[in-house]
Structure 1
């Protein structure tokens, strides 16, 4: 489903992480933990910022900019997707909203603009190819979600189990995504706020 898109998004982001030899693994692990749990602790925040402050200002600014530009925007796409799924359920309309098509196109553009490799280089092409594949797979998953929601039906998971699309499930998913969005934004803000 759409969650696997974010696994692919992290794979894409790993190209950004690995392009900064000076960045500690803590800087890539903590956002992943926060993303997975939809929660951020003061300890995680403090460790993340302590590690980030160890690298050059230029690298840390680029790293933060890349995370915000790709990761935060990716979450905005997810929230918009699930709002569309909710509307599909309520209106029984499975058409992909134009907004989602535009947002997915912007996601790829943002990803490309943050790669450190020269455009056309093997590393650049490989990263873009993987990310494009993830975006295409995400759009296919979105279409399946919208169709299942519009029909008040179910969605088959890769393991063969069925997930019944209900307004309750959609609302829970949307709530979880919004909590994650808040947690990641809180992590990426240099000032801790309770």
Structure 2
């Protein structure tokens, strides 16, 4: 952080994660999400699971930066879930087909895509991190891994590492 920067507590999530009775103050979670004092697990290592974690407080700050520390792991050697996303959107907790959220969203999504859904030649490897900004008119194309609506993306090897992966998101 720069000397002039500051952290907004209402948008921060730090260990220990649990509050009273398996809750996290100012955060909602759903689906298969499990909260402990040491970690938040969005989904277990099983097929067709969804989990979510959403901040309850709207963010009206301009020019913000977010730091995300995460681990993606499981027993599989080649097949994993589709991945996860960090959402900065107008409508929160809208269950849907795009990494757990609704399609045609309004806002920013950062996708951490762990599985190639693309049939045929591909221009990148997986895992793949990409960004998409949407005004509600664009549809995320799973069959093309969102490459036609992405702002940019890159390959990042973050599956089954012994350490956390760190991502910095600036908007």
Which is higher, the Rg of structure 1 or of structure 2? 1
Which structure's residues are more often strand, by fraction?
Answer: 2
* TM-score (structure 1 length as normaliser): 0.22
* TM-score (structure 2 length as normaliser): 0.23
